[in-house]
Structure 1
Amino acid sequence: MATPFTYIIPILLLLSLTSVSNACPPNDRAALLAFKAALNESHLGIFNSWKGLDCCHNWKGVSCNPETHRVADINLRGESEDPIFEKAHRTGYMTGSISPAICKLTGLSSLTIADWKGISGRIPQCIASLPFLRVLDLVGNQISGEIPSDIGRLSRLTVLNVADNQISGNIPRSLTNLSSLMHLDIRGNKISGTIPRDFGKLRMLSRALLSKNKLNGLIPYSISYIYRLADLDLSLNQLSGPIPASLGKMSVLATLNLDGNLISGPIPPTLISSGISILNLSNNAFDGYIPDAFGPRSYFTVMDLSHNKLRGRIPRSISSATYIGHLDVSHNHLCGPIPAGSPFDHLEASSFVSNDCLCGKPLRAC
């Protein structure tokens, strides 16, 4: 006759096997522990939860693929609204480096190790071998060295954010092979050299933020091929030469920041009659006249042309713009009367000072 234990033991065995089958593979767990060993975070106890055999459950910042049970996402941010930060009344500070052991997590889809301020070392070259990686976000650390030269192997990558680090070297030529890339942010580093001529191959790109580096040379004409591009920030570099007029013909470009470079030549009329709403060309070497190309399509929340070599008059057509919120043409060589009416009736004198002979409100009378 069967006893109750006859049925209980197989059930317990089945539950045990189910639990093991839903746990992360031992190799993934070992890779996470090796990754953790290269880091030090003593204030918030982020890694205190990284214990036990199953890294797929209750390991803070770790998520697994529900079907394969492989580690799929690592999301560790040093600035967060997470209760652990609120309870400590502080943001995080982590030191150490990113271990190449991370590359053993071959099922990894996203890697976010952001805003820890003290993480240094290099981006492991083997990062480029992760076949499913879609997000690489390392913003706000002290990472140095170069962007991996074969970063272009990450065919699924949609987000590359290494802003506000100490990264140097050139933009890798292979980066333009990232055909799925939608968000590129390399601001606030020490990256030098030129922007690749075939940058326009990044056809899915919607944001390209390259400011505060040491980039030089020309703005590639091919950028205008990126039909999804809405935000382009090349400010505070050492770029030179003229602006490609084709940038003003881009259908969704809304923000163009080129301030703080060595760009010269005339301002293309296409930029004035485009759909751009934030246009910052200040602190360059533009010369010639402000294009007399304003019209109903001109809608600028910000237009900053200050600190250039512009001459001549402020064009009369500017009054036909649908809207101009902030206008700054100071520190040029402009002359003649400031047009009356909108948008000039709400601008201050600081928008017009340090020109050769501008006059009229809000400056002295002509």
Structure 2
Amino acid sequence: MASFTFSFFFLTLLLLAVMTAVTPCPPSERAALLAFKAALTEPYLGIFNTWNGTDCCGTWYGIACDPTTGHVTDVNLRGESQDPMFQKLGRSGYMTGKISPEICTLSNLTSLVVADWKAISGDIPACVTSLSSLRLLDLAGNRLTGQIPTDIGNIWSLSVLSLADNEISGEIPTSIVNLARLMHLDLSNNHLSGEIPYDFGKLRMLSRALLSGNQLTGSVPKSVSKMNRLADLDVSLNRLTGFIPVKLGKMKVLSTLKLDGNSMTGPVPPTLLSNTGMGILNLSRNGFSGIIPDVFVADSYFMVLDLSFNNFSGRIPGSLSASKFMGHLDLSNNHLCGTIPIGSPFDHIDAASFSNNDCLCGNPLKTC
């Protein structure tokens, strides 16, 4: 009986091995990948040299499949990689061509990464919105043009969307707020225009929203304050106007807020400076005005606090001396006046951080 059991077990393993060997990815999916490959040119690394034979699941670089069904689930081609192939040649990736719509026939895709190839151009295929199982879409670091597909919100399972460092134009689609599972959004360094959707706060799972380096107008939506998981909001280097929503300062998780390089105005909400979870706050190069609220507390821990190039007036808050930590402080190019407080953190900040104000004095500037 034991001999029979062993033989059955051995035959089962052998059968599975044979099935694995003779059951490659479906021919239609292999054809789709070859059409995708045909639209691209990668001259230096030779990653597509592995794309031959019938088993695209086993040996094709950057391709992974479901072990049970054989369907292609992952296309992961990144031009900045720690892969030995990249390290051996000592260079990052470079690829030209376009992203073929044939990629959309891979209906079981959960991740599509074609990132950091520097010269892939053309539009994002609109059909990617039909990939309902897609959780990761990363096309950053290319030269993609055109617009973000209007129906991007149809990819209901998407948790990461990165289209940064391209030449994408048009507005942020209003449907983007339907991505209820989205946790990471990076649209930075493109040519996006128009306003941030007013109901952006519907993205309740979002922890990082990176929209810097575009041409966005309008104001920061008040609905952002409803995003209880948001830790990093970067809308710097745009054309935003309006005030800072007061409730932003009451967000418990928000630790990085970058509004620099816009045309925003009004006062700084006191809660933004007294929020002990805030670690990086950059409001520089705007039109903010009024006094700097004297609300810093013993648990304030700022790695960066940059209020430079605004219209702040009055004195430097004395409560800054109570801060637990102040790494980089810049109050230059405002209309501040009076004596610079003594003690930490002021004893390790150089004169440039206080320069070009109306009448500041004291160490490290001239004596009062």
What range is the shorter-chain TM-score in?
over 0.9
Matched, 1:63 2:71: no
CA distance in 1 between partners of 2:28 and 2:22 (Å) = 14
Give CA deviations for 1:80-101 in whole Å, capped at 9, x if unaligned. Answer: 1111112222111100000000
SS of 1:239's partner is: coil
CA distance in 2 between partners of 1:282 and 1:33 (Å) = 49
**Alpha-carbon spacing, 1:67–1:14, altered in 2? closer, same or farther (3 Å):** closer
Letter in 2 for 1:44: L
Letter in 2 for 1:315: P
Per mean C-alpha deviation after superposition, the further-off stretch among 232-241 and 292-301 is 292-301
SS of 1:262's partner is: coil
Letter in 2 for 1:74: V
* Counterpart position of 2:333: 331
**Alpha-carbon spacing, 1:21–1:106, altered in 2? closer, same or farther (3 Å):** farther
Letter in 2 for 1:212: G
* Counterpart position of 1:356: 358
CA distance in 1 between partners of 2:241 and 2:74 (Å) = 41
* Counterpart position of 1:195: 196
* Counterpart position of 1:131: 132
CA distance in 2 between partners of 1:47 and 1:266 (Å) = 55
CA distance in 2 between partners of 1:353 and 1:42 (Å) = 51
Residue correspondence of structure 1 range 190-269 to structure 2 within 5 A: 190-269=191-270
SS of 1:197's partner is: coil
* Counterpart position of 2:297: 295
* Counterpart position of 2:84: 83
Matched, 1:145 2:141: no
Q: CA deviation at 1:225?
A: 0.6
* Counterpart position of 1:6: none
CA distance in 2 between partners of 1:156 and 1:172 (Å) = 17
| TM-score (normalised: structure 2) | 0.94
SS of 1:236's partner is: coil
SS of 1:128's partner is: helix
* Counterpart position of 1:312: 314
CA distance in 2 between partners of 1:231 and 1:214 (Å) = 20
Letter in 2 for 1:297: D
* Counterpart position of 1:160: 161
SS of 1:127's partner is: helix
SS of 2:170's partner is: coil
Letter in 1 for 2:212: S
Q: CA deviation at 1:263?
A: 0.6
- Report the identity percentage: 61
CA distance in 1 between partners of 2:146 and 2:337 (Å) = 49
Matched, 1:278 2:250: no
RMSD: 1.5
Letter in 1 for 2:301: Y
Moved over 2 A (4+): 13-17, 19-22
* Counterpart position of 2:114: 113
Letter in 1 for 2:53: G
**Alpha-carbon spacing, 1:277–1:16, altered in 2? closer, same or farther (3 Å):** closer
Q: CA deviation at 1:21?
A: 5.8
* Counterpart position of 2:42: 41
CA distance in 1 between partners of 2:272 and 2:301 (Å) = 11
SS of 2:169's partner is: coil
Q: CA deviation at 1:297?
A: 3.1
Give CA deviations for 1:186-211 in whole Å, capped at 9, x if unaligned. Answer: 01000000000000000000000000
Give CA deviations for 1:52-72 in whole Å, capped at 9, x if unaligned. Answer: 111111100000011211000
Per mean C-alpha deviation after superposition, the further-off stretch among 314-323 and 331-340 is 314-323
CA distance in 2 between partners of 1:341 and 1:128 (Å) = 57
SS of 1:240's partner is: coil
Give CA deviations for 1:274-320 in whole Å, capped at 9, x if unaligned. Answer: 12110000000000000111112321111000000000101112112
CA distance in 2 between partners of 1:22 and 1:232 (Å) = 47
Q: CA deviation at 1:237?
A: 0.2
| TM-score (normalised: structure 1) | 0.95
**Alpha-carbon spacing, 1:184–1:15, altered in 2? closer, same or farther (3 Å):** closer
CA distance in 2 between partners of 1:287 and 1:221 (Å) = 20
* Counterpart position of 2:3: none
Give CA deviations for 1:113-170 in whole Å, capped at 9, x if unaligned. Answer: 0110010000000000001000000110000000100000011100000000000000
- Aligned positions, number: 356
SS of 1:133's partner is: coil
Per mean C-alpha deviation after superposition, the further-off stretch among 225-234 and 14-23 is 14-23
Unaligned residue ranges in structure 1 (runs of 5+): 1-9
Unaligned residue ranges in structure 2 (runs of 5+): 1-10
SS of 2:128's partner is: helix
